[in-house]
Amino acid sequence: MLKVLVIGNGGREHTLCWAIAQSSQVEKVFCAPGNAGIDDVATPVDLAAGDIDALLGFAQREKIDLTVVGPEAPLVAGIVDRFRDAKLRIYGPSQAAARLEGSKAFAKEFMRRHHIPTGPFAIFDDFDEARRFIAESEGQLVVKADGIAAGKGVIVCNDPADAEEAARQMMREQVFGAAGSRIVIERKLVGEEVSLMGFCDGERVVPMIPARDYKPIYDGDRGPNTGGMGSYAPARLPEEFDVNDICESVLQTAVEGMAAEGTPYVGILYAGLMLTDAGPRVLEFNCRFGDPETQAVLPLLGTDIIDIIGASLAGQLDLEPVKWRDLYCTCVILASSGYPGSPEKGKPISGPLKTDSGEVFRFHAGTAKSNGQTVTSGGRVMGVCARATTHESAVANAYTEIERITFDGMQYRTDIGVRKGPVSRPRQRRQTPDRRSKKTRYR
């Protein structure tokens, strides 16, 4: 029986703990630092997700059999390398491989080297050069901080003045800290957005079901970007797009490119995609489970996640079939007043707060305990999720559950899951007899 440590404190990590705790192979789940709602599936540990020395010491003392890293910051800081050096099993990419998320400039140049479809871009270290480029550009632009910025370092601009102001805020005013010292400027792409995550073993990728994420704070995709205000899975894809084809041209190509450059990629690879008239284009790579996509995707996983992680670490994903429930899941994020700016904290939360009851799930994020009461402690407070046999029922049930939960200043979008058209699921992959083949074959 395994002892598992999950690192992080958000809704993604709560969902991971919930999924891992369901495995018959797991004896106990710890979560560092966890949150106020996680204790019914995991034991919180008062250690910061970025304190690698303390986390390593805890894993050694407790004889942790497997560590799963949720957020990007410790991955970019090299936690996987440290644990591997100490002969501890840990799931996630190395520091070198995590540059796919840690630096948008690196990711863009990597995509160009390996012919992974993405939009036109330019990289700048100097604000005056960026300003001149913007003045000479046509059409709408997107300005991105190079480093990690908690999912908020992307500004979609309506005109050159907006783009110049975004560049100024990042490079001169340092609104995202050191992450904005270098910026990437892209031409805005038009189409439908979709998130596609995959399990990777260093050579091959097995895709998850696609999900749709909602970044802007307000209904109708208005307002500033957030870390994500909701998601649903499986996402719809226009009929000309195929999950397996996208996986092959984007995720599989990226994993093969990382291996060719001497930095094998093991863990979760996330591609934020725009489905354009010219085909799929990568908006960004993330080196971990998406948040809130994880809350909508993992409740649909039909295979023991411990088996999948074990196969990934052993380089044997071709021997582990990954199955999905023929169901639908919707996640709606409840956020604090002031988010995505400075959120109000310490507001008591009332209503049902346990992780799950039947087909409804409540994955905590920005929550804490105060005087025996659960209170808000961050911007995104909780993901309310529902699983059902139809997409429409999953959406309706999530919003019905939200009516039972209240806290002062609570805000959420009312249009999560509004969509038309058929959903898309990855075709079941047959086991590959020839283990020498490095490329996953999808059938």
Which CATH class for the 120-187 domain?
alpha beta
Residues in the chain: 443
Q: Model confidence over 152-201: pLDDT tens digits?
A: 789 999 899 999 999 999 999 999 999 999 999 999 999 999 999 999 99
Place of tokens 């601009």: 157
Note the pLDDT of residue 423. 53
User: Does the pTM of the predicted model rise above 0.75?
Assistant: yes
21, containing H or E segment: helix 11-21
Check whether 406 has a pLDDT greater than 70: yes
Note the pLDDT of residue 443. 21
Amino acid at position 60, single letter? Q
75, containing H or E segment: helix 72-76
Cα angle 345, 363, 5 (rounded to 5 degrees) comes to 100
Q: Model confidence over 315-360: pLDDT tens digits?
A: 999 988 899 999 999 999 999 999 999 999 999 999 999 998 889 9
> How many whole angstroms separate alpha carbon 98 and alpha carbon 296?
24
Which CATH architecture does the domain made up of 2-98 adopt?
3-Layer(aba) Sandwich (3.40)
Mean confidence (pLDDT) of the chain: 93
**CATH 3.40.50.20-classified regions of the chain:** 2-98
Place of tokens 């410790």: 74
Check whether 308 has a pLDDT greater than 50: yes
> How many whole angstroms separate alpha carbon 271 and alpha carbon 233?
15
**CATH 3.30.1490.20-classified regions of the chain:** 120-187
Amino acid at position 404, single letter? R
> b/e map of 334-362 (b: 16 or more CB within 10 Å)?
bbbbebbeebebebebeeeeebeeebbbb
